[in-house]
Structure 1
Amino acid sequence: MQGKRILLIVGGGISAYKIPQLIRLLRGAGAAVTPVLTAAGAQFTTPMTLSVLAGEPVHDTLWNSGDEAEIGHIQLSRRADLVVVAPATADLMARMAQGLAGDLASTLLLATDKRVLIAPAMNVRMWNHPATLRNLATLKGDGILTVGPDSGDMACGEYGPGRMAEPEAILEAIRDALTPALRPLAGRHVIVTSGPTHEPIDPVRYIANRSSGAQGAAIAAALRDLGARVSFVTGPAAVAAPAGVEVIAVETARQMQEAVAVALPADAAVMAAAVADWRVVNASAQKVKKDGQGQAPVLEMAENPDILAWVSRDEGRPRLVVGFAAETENVVAHATAKRARKGCDWILANDVSPGTGIMGGTENAVTLITDEGAEDWPRMSKDAVAARLAARIAEVIG
């Protein structure tokens, strides 16, 4: 991003408080930032704050006689490498969709010949309103790029989609827009599942496995680095989720399936989670106590949903579905049979026998199984496995 110029239009929403951090990130990456502050945006942040952080004057009116003597709005809109609108409020999106030009921000957006990226932010009901959805469809049809919104708690007290994407995610989207050749998955959406699932026995005990979630997190980061928008559905992992991806934290297998369903549609799905095969049907609402007679409680078990098979056969199936097979014997044979049984495109098989150090460790040794057969990869770091897999995925859906 060194030497790139970003024209940053700041709309009027509470998430404008994140804009100073976005400016810091952009300048730290080598970009120049020209701030444009709408009248509504000035209710949430100040020209002085933006000017000091950007190192440039803030533009906030169409009626500056000095600037407009040289047709300033045209100059601003044309000399930028990318125009970014954050937060993009429902009002700003509506004016963009209608081609209105009643103030500096909307005039710049109408006059620019550069790509435009918006980071929507609004109340969940406003985001889901048919008018906003129509406007969003119009903007996407016009070639406008989008990042977010995220789901979560809102300043108004409601919960749902409508939170502006975090500054780190906006920075990654800006990188995608500026360097598409170096980021072959720009514009692609990939779902990655990761970590173990926990199936409750009672409020303090659960059934789990030894997965750390390290490989799934590495895959999500590698796909992000190639420009993909990543929905990262993770169980209670021992490693932190990577920055710059949408994190959906779950606990049980059924919650993971629900989260994947919400994240669809996608261009690819990488199902790296170690999902528990069974759950306890008669889980207790209270901690189970010893009975004093030496009798262990009887746990009634039921099979969990097979998320990989479901995604592979779903009506909205991604173009590429990648599964994992953690085996302790006959690794390639079991994984090949699993691929046929599940209906996925690829399987990454690995040996997690005691002594290999694979499950919960920092390295992995996998065999990629596809229609063309089995391809052994040498033992390497999980980050290296992730980078190699992401590159192969980019060859298919990039």
Structure 2
Amino acid sequence: MLNNKNIILGVCGSIAAYKSAFLVRLLVKAGANVKVILTQDGANFITPLTLATLSKNPVYTQYFEEETGVWSNHVELGLWADLVIVAPISANTLAKLATGICDNLLTAVYLSAKCPVYVAPAMDLDMWKHEATQNNIQTITGFGNTVIEPGTGELASGLHGAGRMAEPEEIVAFLEHALKKSMPFFGKKVMVTAGPTYEAIDPVRFIGNHSSGKMGFALADELAKLGAEVTLIAGPTSEKSTEALTRIDVISAQDMFNACNANFEQSDVTIMCAAVADYRPKMIAEQKIKKQESDFNLALEKTVDILASMGKIKKPEQILVGFALETNDEENYAKGKLERKNLDLVVLNSLNDKGAGFKSDTNKITIFSRALERTVFDVKSKNEVAKDICNAILKLIK
């Protein structure tokens, strides 16, 4: 959720400022771009060098550098940020945000920011409980800002109670959850299948296809970025998945069916992108089959039709998306699959289109809706194609 996010971290005068070093480290580890604004009082508790080293960016402390005259453009910083987090925020700075006092760089950036603002208070028990502080909390939340509540424990004064700044891990988890809640697929459980299946002939050989799984993995990653709770069921592939999803590895069509059947009922959206084998050997040899002088015949039987099976048990509120990879009469076959298998959308790939097909980093698709509305897309990277498919699904959700 925080990957590539531009984050302004404000650090105020509090003993909890030492936690800001750990917070910067966690934000950077999560992939965020972090710029720190350190107040004059904050610099009494933690050095700019520490925060600059961890953030990999210069730390801002003043409107301008006295020696060089270089100006820290507060408007530019405010517009750069995807979110602002002040941690720790002192009672003093909290009062300034509530009243609009603008006497340092941090408060100027706050007034210029157009993004969500989060504050993590840190102060002594009596200061936190004081009516003035609680009024200021109500005022800034009324402005649309979010307070990350302080924890309870031993305080710097020796008292025990509320006022401890939330731990860095808690703050990062809070931010990720807040960002996820704003995502269009938040609260949706999505199942995606990807890759080929391998149907064993003997312990060495199998029947398979050229699917790399790239399209399915791109879809799973994009859905996770959009806030979905993703279960990825992957056939044999070298593709890597992100930690933001649940991955189930399978080999055969029967394995994939079993995994799909176990997860389908809980899924709000199911996208069947895998290239499942249509046939498998009737008998699997226990030992490697030796080369014969004459022809070798292999008896095959149909595998389970996973997509059709899901279509039969699909509830009205569930969305089921299938893929059709064709070499001739593509559109008619795709429309037929849409109707026969009770799909809400079918994504057509034609091997006659340049840039489409297995193993490629690009794809060219046509999407048909249940109403047979046809949307044709240009050749794009599979990551961009994934976005187009997700947008089509969002239209159904809305």
Distance 2:326 2:125 in 1: 69
Task: Look up the SS of the partner of 1:285 in the other structure.
Answer: coil
For structure 2, the residue ranges without an aligned partner over 5 or more in a row are: 11-22, 37-52, 56-85, 89-122, 155-161, 164-168
1:221 aligns with 2:221: yes
Return closer, same or farther for 1:224/1:288 CA change in 2, 3 Å cut-off.
same
User: 1:232 corresponds to which letter in structure 2?
Assistant: L
Question: Which whole-Å deviations, capped at 9, do the CAs of 1:132-151 have from their partners, x for residues lacking one?
Answer: xxxxxxxxxxxxxxxxxxxx
Contact in 1 for aligned 2:9/2:87 (Cα 8 Å): no
* Runs of 4 or more above 6 Å deviation: 52-57, 72-76, 101-104
2:127 corresponding residue in structure 1: 70
Contact in 2 for aligned 1:312/1:321 (Cα 8 Å): yes
Task: Look up the SS of the partner of 1:321 in the other structure.
Answer: strand
> Alpha-carbon deviation of 1:208?
0.6
Contact in 1 for aligned 2:345/2:367 (Cα 8 Å): yes
1:263-342 matches, within 5 Å, as: 263-264=263-264, 265-291=266-292, 293-296=293-296, 298-314=297-313, 319-342=318-341
> Alpha-carbon deviation of 1:82?
7.2
Return closer, same or farther for 1:343/1:31 CA change in 2, 3 Å cut-off.
farther
> Alpha-carbon deviation of 1:23?
5.8
User: 1:68 corresponds to which letter in structure 2?
Assistant: L
1:1-398 matches, within 5 Å, as: 2-3=7-8, 25-26=29-30, 28=32, 30=34, 67-71=124-128, 81=146, 174-178=175-179, 180-181=181-182, 183-264=183-264, 265-291=266-292, 293-296=293-296, 298-314=297-313, 319-353=318-352, 358-373=357-372, 374-397=374-397
Q: CA RMSD of the aligned region, Å? A: 4.5
Distance 2:223 2:387 in 1: 8
> Alpha-carbon deviation of 1:53?
8.6
Return closer, same or farther for 1:315/1:372 CA change in 2, 3 Å cut-off.
closer
Return closer, same or farther for 1:82/1:194 CA change in 2, 3 Å cut-off.
farther
> Alpha-carbon deviation of 1:209?
0.7
Question: Which whole-Å deviations, capped at 9, do the CAs of 1:118-139 have from their partners, x for residues lacking one?
Answer: 99xxxxxxxxxxxxxxxxxxxx
Distance 1:392 1:261 in 2: 25
Return closer, same or farther for 1:258/1:4 CA change in 2, 3 Å cut-off.
farther
Contact in 1 for aligned 2:366/2:377 (Cα 8 Å): yes
> Alpha-carbon deviation of 1:199?
0.8
Contact in 1 for aligned 2:27/2:34 (Cα 8 Å): no
Contact in 1 for aligned 2:311/2:343 (Cα 8 Å): yes
Return closer, same or farther for 1:68/1:267 CA change in 2, 3 Å cut-off.
same
> Alpha-carbon deviation of 1:380?
1.8
Greater gyration radius: 2
Task: Look up the SS of the partner of 2:127 in the other structure.
Answer: coil
Question: Which whole-Å deviations, capped at 9, do the CAs of 1:161-218 have from their partners, x for residues lacking one?
Answer: xxxxxxxxx96x943523644x211121111111111111111111111111111111
Contact in 1 for aligned 2:338/2:370 (Cα 8 Å): no
User: 1:329 corresponds to which letter in structure 2?
Assistant: N
> Alpha-carbon deviation of 1:276?
0.6
Task: Look up the SS of the partner of 2:216 in the other structure.
Answer: helix
User: 2:281 corresponds to which letter in structure 1?
Assistant: V
User: 1:67 corresponds to which letter in structure 2?
Assistant: D
Question: Which whole-Å deviations, capped at 9, do the CAs of 1:342-371 have from their partners, x for residues lacking one?
Answer: 111110111124976522212211111113
Contact in 1 for aligned 2:180/2:186 (Cα 8 Å): no
Task: Look up the SS of the partner of 2:283 in the other structure.
Answer: coil
More displaced stretch, 372-381 vs 223-232: 372-381
Question: Which whole-Å deviations, capped at 9, do the CAs of 1:68-107 have from their partners, x for residues lacking one?
Answer: 343489999x7994769xxxxxxxxxxxxxxxx9978xxx
Contact in 2 for aligned 1:81/1:178 (Cα 8 Å): no
Distance 1:191 1:307 in 2: 13
Contact in 1 for aligned 2:215/2:382 (Cα 8 Å): yes
Return closer, same or farther for 1:20/1:278 CA change in 2, 3 Å cut-off.
farther
Return closer, same or farther for 1:83/1:251 CA change in 2, 3 Å cut-off.
farther
> Alpha-carbon deviation of 1:67?
3.2
Return closer, same or farther for 1:70/1:349 CA change in 2, 3 Å cut-off.
same
Return closer, same or farther for 1:245/1:29 CA change in 2, 3 Å cut-off.
farther
Q: How high is the TM-score relative to the length of structure 2?
A: 0.60
> Alpha-carbon deviation of 1:221?
1.6
For structure 1, the residue ranges without an aligned partner over 5 or more in a row are: 6-18, 33-51, 58-65, 85-100, 105-110, 113-117, 120-169
Task: Look up the SS of the partner of 2:185 in the other structure.
Answer: coil
Return closer, same or farther for 1:53/1:83 CA change in 2, 3 Å cut-off.
farther
Distance 1:261 1:20 in 2: 43
1:96 corresponding residue in structure 2: none
More displaced stretch, 362-371 vs 330-339: 362-371
Distance 1:27 1:216 in 2: 24
Distance 2:304 2:181 in 1: 38
Between Structure 1 and Structure 2, how many residues are aligned? 287
User: 1:70 corresponds to which letter in structure 2?
Assistant: M
Return closer, same or farther for 1:376/1:354 CA change in 2, 3 Å cut-off.
closer
Task: Look up the SS of the partner of 1:70 in the other structure.
Answer: helix
